[in-house]
Amino acid sequence: MEKILIQGGERLKGAVKVSGAKNAALPVMAACILTEGWHHLKNIPRLKDTQTIKRIMSGMGVLFEEQDGVLSVNTENIRDCQASYDLVKTMRASILLLGPLVARLRRARISLPGGCAIGARPVDMHLKALSAMGVEMFLEGGYINAEADHLNGAEIFFDIPTVTGTENVMMAAVKAKGQTVIRNAAKEPEVVNLAGMLRAMGGRIEGDGSDTIIVQGVDGLQSVEEHTVIPDRIEVGTFMIGCAMTGGEILIEGCRPEHLAAVIEKVQAVGAEVKKSEAGILIKGPEVIRSVDIETMPFPGFPTDLQAQFMALMCIAEGSSIIRETIFENRFIHVSELIRMGAQISIHGNQAMVRGIDRLLAAPVMATDLRASASLILAGLVAKEGTTEVHRIYHLDRGYEGLEVKFRSLGAKIWREKA
Ligand code: EPU
């Protein structure tokens, strides 16, 4: 096991290039299953989660080749349709394979994901929607066994907008007979990125990016010549927050500011200067950090995947702030670790009240999930008196590509060691 060590106190300076988004890469990799041939994907980040989906798909007979930053995926011979518990328990997003497998092979056997550190995270809405499209499913030994003689279009209404649920249904619907309408669909940029890939394969999709997506099923799809994964908006947000915390000045290259409107607005409210240009986002941290309330919401609202990082920022703000988490019921596990660094935070239901203090203190802390890990690293960047040690960073490696290397290139004193 490895740990990350940080000696806080350096202002971030310089330029950093953002990687492809994990949550856009996983669905487009899964979508390759929909039709045979070579698919060529650009900007796939090198992460534990992208390795995990490759391992699952390789076990099904999918071939992968990587050259000059392009991941080529061959789905000619799929001989198996199973995603085993061993791998699904390490990555819940494996459920994304269900839609494409039933669309291509008319059957799938996927381990049902259990709960995770941030919440129960059921997949009932995925299953209900696929069942309305003609998929028969039963649970056996912890696995969802799915079979479909035919796949029909359907009217789907999601009680809550679900990102991977919307993606699963879109992937099944492109090959279903007739029209599928998804209401209260997720509007996240990752959904739009997947829709772009499906269109490049010959799928007929409209309305992605809005809350109503209409898919007309087609008979045949072709493999995709080239599809580029969007930049990781959560990584961009993490750098923006790091810059605001350290009073630095950085240029974040290769990002899409339109994916970050809510985050930019909050970071400006804190006192940072943000300039958007062709080159990316230029951000200058404030001398005094103002406290600002946030509430997590589906896109275009403030993303839950940046809540823990924003909380680290509020820990050293002037005054108090309220952070309300509305997406996941248990996404405050980072709080007790931040408290070990001197933060003053109290939790009341789904709200955290953060009283800003002058300085955080270095301490050994434990990462509990992916975004909590990033929050603790940010706290470490400003912590005084010693070295912060962040343990269990395998969570970080699931979703950030060389985060500590990128922070080091911006002047932070941060490195990785064997624990
Ligand atoms: N939900 C249900 N039933 C379902 C599906 C979802 O009750 O069948 C609930 C969830 O428990 C949650 C809400 O609906 O309360 C929204 O969850 P959603 O389905 O949108 O989450 P997800 O698709 O499982 C994706 C990201 C998460 C991100 C959320 C919210 C991927 C692979 N994962 O998860 O990313 O937090 O959307 O934006 O796209 C992360 O990267 O750290 C991460 C957790």
Segment 228-244, tens digit of pLDDT: 999 999 999 999 999 99
- Spot the catalytic one: 81, 116, 243, 255: 116
pLDDT above 80: residue 310: yes
Structure tokens at 204: 């007929």
- Residue by residue, DSSP assigns 160-176 as S--HHHHHHHHHHHTTS
Cβ count within 10 A of residue 277: 9
The Å distance, Cα 322 to ligand 1 centre, comes to 23
The reply to whether ligand 1 has any atom less than 6 angstroms from the CB of 43 is no
Structure tokens at 67: 């050259």
Specify the pLDDT at position 335.
97
Specify the pLDDT at position 116.
76
pLDDT above 80: residue 354: yes
Mean pLDDT of 112-122: 80
Among 164, 326, 370, name the best residue to mutate to test ligand 1's pocket (greatest count of ligand atoms within 8 A of Cβ). Answer: 164
Could you tell me the pLDDT band of residue 350, with boundaries at 50, 70 and 90? very high
Distance from CA of residue 323 to its chain's centroid? 20
| Atom of ligand 1 lying closest to residue 164 CA | 23
The Å distance, Cα 127 to ligand 1 centre, comes to 14
The Å distance, Cα 333 to ligand 1 centre, comes to 17
Specify the pLDDT at position 189.
98
Q: Are 359 and 289 in contact (CB under 8 A)?
A: no
Cβ count within 10 A of residue 159: 9
The reply to whether ligand 1 has any atom less than 6 angstroms from the CB of 162 is yes
| Atom of ligand 1 lying closest to residue 234 CA | 41
Q: What are phi and psi of 350, to 5 degrees?
A: -95, 20
Mean pLDDT of 146-154: 96
Specify the pLDDT at position 121.
84
| Atom of ligand 1 lying closest to residue 125 CA | 8
pLDDT above 90: residue 118: no
Q: Fill in the amino acid letter for 9.
A: G
Could you tell me the pLDDT band of residue 419, with boundaries at 50, 70 and 90? confident
Query: How long, in residues, is the chain?
Result: 419
Mean pLDDT of 112-137: 89
Specify the pLDDT at position 344.
98
pTM for the model stands at: 0.97
Vertex 16: Cα angle to 14 and 21 (nearest 5): 160
**For residue 313, what are the CA distances in angstroms to 79, 305, 375?**
49, 14, 9
Mean pLDDT of 360-381: 96
pLDDT tens for 61-80 read 999 999 999 999 999 999 88
Task: Decide: helix, strand or coil at residue 45.
Answer: coil
The Å distance, Cα 123 to ligand 1 centre, comes to 9
Among 126, 162, 166, 232, name the best residue to mutate to test ligand 1's pocket (greatest count of ligand atoms within 8 A of Cβ). Answer: 162
Pairing of strands 82-83, 107-111: parallel
Strand order in the sheet with 38-42: 63-67, 70-74, 38-42, 227-228
Ligand 1: residue whose CA is nearest its atom 43: 305
Could you tell me the pLDDT band of residue 258, with boundaries at 50, 70 and 90? very high
Taking the C-alpha atoms of 311, 404, 299 and 241 in order, what is their torsion angle to the nearest 10 degrees? 40
Could you tell me the pLDDT band of residue 151, with boundaries at 50, 70 and 90? very high
pLDDT above 80: residue 368: yes
> From start to end of 246-287, where are the E strands?
249-253, 273-277, 280-284
CB-hemisphere CA count at 13 Å for 193?
29
Query: How many angstroms separate the CA atoms of 352 and 333, rounded?
Result: 11
Mean pLDDT of 110-131: 87
pLDDT above 90: residue 9: yes
Query: How many angstroms separate the CA atoms of 385 and 408, rounded?
Result: 19
Query: How many angstroms separate the CA atoms of 44 and 328, rounded?
Result: 27
Q: Is 255 a catalytic residue?
A: no
Average pLDDT, whole number, for the chain?
Answer: 96
Is the model more confident about 128 or about 120?
A: 128
The reply to whether ligand 1 has any atom less than 6 angstroms from the CB of 23 is yes
**For residue 384, what are the CA distances in angstroms to 87, 136, 362, 373?**
39, 57, 6, 19
Cβ count within 10 A of residue 69: 10
If you count DSSP H runs as helices and E runs as strands, how many of each does the chain have, helices first?
Answer: 14, 24
Helix (H) or strand (E) holding 294: strand 294-295
The Å distance, Cα 95 to ligand 1 centre, comes to 11
Specify the pLDDT at position 281.
97
Ligand 1: residue whose CA is nearest its atom 37: 163
The Å distance, Cα 18 to ligand 1 centre, comes to 23
Helix 48-59 vs helix 22-31: crossing angle, to nearest 10: 10
pLDDT above 90: residue 397: yes
pLDDT tens for 163-181 read 999 999 999 999 999 999 9
First to last CA, the chain: 6
pLDDT tens for 83-95 read 989 998 889 999 9
The reply to whether ligand 1 has any atom less than 6 angstroms from the CB of 165 is yes
